[in-house]
Amino acid sequence: MYGGFRKLGFCATTDTLVAVMGESFDTDLLKFWEDSLAVQADAKVWAVLIRNAADKSNAGTALSVYQAALSRGLRPDNAMFHPVIRAVCANGLRAPDDYSIDQALELLEAFVKLHTSDGDEHDQLDESSEGHSTPDAPIYNTVLRAMAFSPNVIEKYVPRILGMLEDMRSRNVSMDSTTSASLIVVLVRSASNHEEAIRIYEFFRSTKDGQSILNEQGYISALHAFCASSKGKNAVPPPRFYFRIVSDMRTAGYEITPPVYTIILRHLADLAGKICSIGDEDELQAQLLPVVNAIRKTHQLLVVDSSLNPDTPLWNQLMDAYQRSGCFAEALQIYEMLSRSSQYNDASLSIILDACGFADAYPTALRIWNNAVAGGVKPNQKNWKTWLECLCRLGHISDAVKAMCLEMSQAEPSVKPDVECAQIVLSFASATNQEYEVRDRIKRNLPSLWKALSSNLRLELHDP
């Protein structure tokens, strides 16, 4: 048929090779068609074969076809390299392993060398790549994302990432928003302190023309990473830096929602909890002070932010941050504000009861509990457990036993005491030698729960 076409003036081209190869990636078949049509395959034809191999087979096959092209003396272009590097870096839904990443880095290094003229420090533009830099942005982005998602990125790949970024900047190659967000998270988390973290963030936050390179989720990821960035012990993320990122997010046109404030407040609450495990009172207060100041600064910004509509979860997080830092008055003020506006929920009740327990505020705890129940709150099991712990912590173990053995089952709706309830009360009772009394009450009033207790909690009762 081809002979007949030739008599009519048809001349085969590389497009003919692409057509006859179809979805095949067989290099022997390509050689047959090259000889039959008297046409030599160029980079465009080999790019099709490599893409077919990556789509129809696996990374190893795609790499073999790519290497076959190189053995022919072909100078690969971006179109040939794209499917190879994507196949090597892809690992299903899992992050690529270090072997695949190292292989990708070796391939990229060799690819760059093929496009670097002797004596030149950087790559030149390849005519076959239609004026685009070789390697181009998608190639860099693929390898950078692979390194960013490696479990060993901070220990192993941060220097390689930084070197690649410098190379990209020198070539005027930009990252996409997904890659930018991934790298900001990785590099900000690797920072030694928050000052270094904010400098890293600002290095990435915009393109040369001032446009933001992060999408909304990218900013959220950057905020999380910034809070967790410092290697220093109990280092507090400075609100002035955190809200600089928030300001950029607002400028980029994204709405500042309650979760944006919740991120830093949750981190500060966790940090306060860690600090409170310190035994020395003087050291405790010294380390808590910057946490408290950061919470108050965030509270102040929250209140004056006219674009923000704080919801109950945000107020709860602020209240929890205060109570974990030992600021009972501030936590109580927030709860009473929520109570007056009927914005509080079961989580609000548990947080303030926790605060009362640690603040030795029994009258306040009793008032809050009674008012909540009288006001129509239907305590769930989490609320009851917090109430039991609050009573025990305040020294009212008998009231806690009464609440567990009688009041929980009589509540509306009824809540069944479980093993954790018994563990809470017994753990405090052991410190005041009231274990026998508590076990006796559980055995008499809650026989099912008694049977469910482990032997070390239950212990057979005997005459004292």
Domain final position from 377, 410, 432? 377
Q: Is residue 335 part of a domain?
A: yes
**CATH value at residue 14:** 1.25.40.10
3-class SS at 118? coil
Q: Higher-confidence residue: 458 or 22?
A: 22
Mean pLDDT of 289-305: 96
Instruction: Give the residue from 191, 301, 279, 281 showing the smallest Cα distance to 235.
Output: 191
Instruction: Give the residue from 234, 312, 252, 92 showing the smallest Cα distance to 222.
Output: 252
Q: What pLDDT shows up at residue 172?
A: 82
Q: Is residue 389 part of a domain?
A: no
> pLDDT tens digits for 353-371?
999 999 999 999 999 999 9
253: alpha, beta or left, given left = phi > 0 and alpha = psi -120 to 50?
A: left
Burial class from Cβ neighbours inside 10 Å (0-12, 13-18, 19+) for residue 321 reads: buried
3-class SS at 289? helix
116's CB contacts (< 8 A; 6+ apart) are: 122, 123, 124
Q: Are 321 and 365 found together in one domain? A: yes
Q: Are 226 and 185 found together in one domain? A: yes
Q: What pLDDT shows up at residue 82?
A: 95
Q: Are 220 and 239 found together in one domain? A: yes
The whole-chain average pLDDT of the chain stands at: 88
Query: Phi, psi (5° rounding) for residue 425?
Result: -70, -45
How far apart CA 30 and CA 28 sit, in angstroms, is 5
Whether the CB-CB separation of 294 and 236 falls below 8 Å is answered with: yes
Task: Tell me the pLDDT band of 122, cut-offs 50, 70 and 90.
Answer: very low
Q: Is residue 286 part of a domain?
A: yes
Mean pLDDT of 337-354: 94
Q: Is residue 205 part of a domain?
A: yes
Structure tokens, 324: 């974990």
Q: Are 200 and 345 found together in one domain? A: no
Q: Are 218 and 271 found together in one domain? A: no
Q: Is residue 226 part of a domain?
A: yes
Q: Are 367 and 260 found together in one domain? A: yes
Instruction: Give the residue from 412, 402, 411, 413 showing the smallest Cα distance to 446.
Output: 402
Q: Are 155 and 195 found together in one domain? A: no
Domain final position from 344, 377, 410? 377
How far apart CA 457 and CA 440 sit, in angstroms, is 12
Residue matched to tokens 């290697």: 231
Computed from CA positions of residues 68, 71, 74, 78, in that sequence, does the dihedral angle turn out positive or negative?
positive
Q: Higher-confidence residue: 295 or 157?
A: 295
> pLDDT tens digits for 326-335?
999 999 999 9
User: How many angstroms separate the Cα of 12 from the Cα of each of 3, 22, 36, 455?
Assistant: 11, 16, 10, 87
Residue matched to tokens 């936050």: 205
Q: Is residue 164 part of a domain?
A: yes
Burial class from Cβ neighbours inside 10 Å (0-12, 13-18, 19+) for residue 176 reads: middle
Mean pLDDT of 56-66: 94
Q: Are 38 and 165 found together in one domain? A: yes
Task: Tell me the pLDDT band of 311, cut-offs 50, 70 and 90.
Answer: very high
Q: What pLDDT shows up at residue 92?
A: 64
Q: Are 144 and 11 found together in one domain? A: yes
Residue 174 DSSP code: P
Q: In sequence order, what E strands does 311-450 have? A: none
> pLDDT tens digits for 423-455?
999 999 988 889 889 999 999 999 999 988 876
Q: Is residue 262 part of a domain?
A: yes
Question: Quick check: 120 pLDDT over 60?
Answer: no
Q: What pLDDT shows up at residue 129?
A: 40
Q: What pLDDT shows up at residue 94?
A: 72
> pLDDT tens digits for 208-245?
556 677 889 889 999 999 998 877 777 899 999 999 99
Instruction: Give the residue from 249, 149, 232, 167 showing the smallest Cα distance to 196.
Output: 232
Q: Are 80 and 228 found together in one domain? A: no
> pLDDT tens digits for 26-51?
999 999 999 999 999 999 999 999 99
Look up the pTM and report it: 0.77
The count of structural domains within the chain is 4
Question: Quick check: 462 pLDDT over 60?
Answer: no
> pLDDT tens digits for 72-117?
999 999 999 999 999 999 866 677 899 999 999 999 999 988 887 5
Whether the CB-CB separation of 150 and 95 falls below 8 Å is answered with: yes
Question: Quick check: 160 pLDDT over 60?
Answer: yes
Q: Are 73 and 90 found together in one domain? A: yes
Q: What percentage of the chain has pLDDT greater than the value 70?
A: 92
Mean pLDDT of 386-409: 96
Q: Is residue 382 part of a domain?
A: no
Q: Are 11 and 110 found together in one domain? A: yes
Burial class from Cβ neighbours inside 10 Å (0-12, 13-18, 19+) for residue 188 reads: buried
Question: Quick check: 2 pLDDT over 90?
Answer: no
The parent domain of residue 361 ranges over 255-377
Residue at 55: amino acid letter: D
